[in-house]
Amino acid sequence: MKPVIFGLSGLALTPDERAFFAEADPVGYILFKRNIADRAQLRALTDSLRDLSGRSDIPVLIDQEGGRVARMRAPEWPEFPAGPVFDALYDIAPISAIEAAQANAQAIGLMLAEVGITVDCLPLLDVAQPDTTEAITSRALGSEPLRVAAMGRAILDGLRAAGVVGVVKHMPGHGRARLDTHYHLPTVTASDADLEVDLQPFRRLNGAPMGMTSHIVFEAWDRDRPATLSPVIIEQVIRQRIGFDGLLMTDDIDMKALSGSAGEKAAGAIAAGCDVVLDCWARMDEMVDIAGRLGEMAPVSRDRLDRAMATIAGVVPEGDMAALIAKRDALLALV
């Protein structure tokens, strides 16, 4: 098995994709709007990925956060709010905010489980700062680390109740970035002491099954390499200081924050200590390059993958989506 999660080009596997994926045997797949039409088509697609791999527990990922980051859209599916609305409720009713975040996540999870999606890239545990890029503030759970952790835990619990694995992101924190990593490489100059604030939510949720790195240079820890490509940050900060021993995947390796070919970036991330590379865009030449540069998944990484997927093994999705949404909306109406 290759330590990579690949994207797909369309609504169904092409013959070339089917042949390539059968040979490469990636860890899993990630879906985007281009892969989604309706319930029947999406379920057929995810079933085809399980059939091709021969693994019933293969991770099938999506970014379904709510707000602007949502691949499954109305009118086929309900719209969901983003993190800041729960942060606003927390200001006046912390327990209600936690309950609303959990109900919201469980409803999202039920929606995903119905179509065979098993992993959601949620929650964000990035602690917002006054000058954080809007790419994060429009999605974050707030600027106070303990409330971010509390709502993040509720989100993980809600997803798991629906039979979906959550991914904490973006380790070791994206809150001090002033630039959008889709287009630029941010450099954070904060001191090690100041960065403790950013680590707190991740440390409190260090038992999460999966995590995602950030493409950010932290001068206090590694002046030369972004977190995704830094053995120092992955081992000393994420693994040791945070204490995270779950499956660690990169953020999308295609983001402009990183330089080099797709294969070079992928190999660099695995060499730095990431368990899995995330490559989202389904460009066949780049996927071939990545697969050619990566060896088999390391045993320790395979163990982390197995442990992560075991957290939902045998879980029967609980709850009624409409009732959960109604509960969330009644709580959010308190604001």
The residue type of 50 is R
Place of tokens 């971010």: 148
Question: Nearest 5°: phi and psi at 210?
Answer: -140, 150
Distance in angstroms (rounded) separating the CA atoms of residues 335 and 332: 6
State whether the Cα torsion 244-182-37-86 is positive or negative: positive
C-beta of residue 198 within 8 angstroms of C-beta of residue 127: yes
Among residues 182, 184, 254, 303, the one annotated as catalytic is 182
Distance in angstroms (rounded) separating the CA atoms of residues 252 and 293: 17
| Residue 184 buriedness (CB in 10 A; 0-12 / 13-18 / 19+) | middle
Active site residue 215: no
Of 86, 199, 70, the closest CA to residue 145 belongs to 199
Among residues 120, 198, 251, 275, the one annotated as catalytic is 251
Question: Nearest 5°: phi and psi at 193?
Answer: -65, -45
Active site residue 222: no
Residue 333 neighbours by CB under 8 Å, 6+ apart: none
| Residue 314 buriedness (CB in 10 A; 0-12 / 13-18 / 19+) | exposed
Distance in angstroms (rounded) separating the CA atoms of residues 76 and 72: 8
Half-sphere exposure of 263 (CA within 13 A, CB side): 12
Show which residues are catalytic: 182, 251
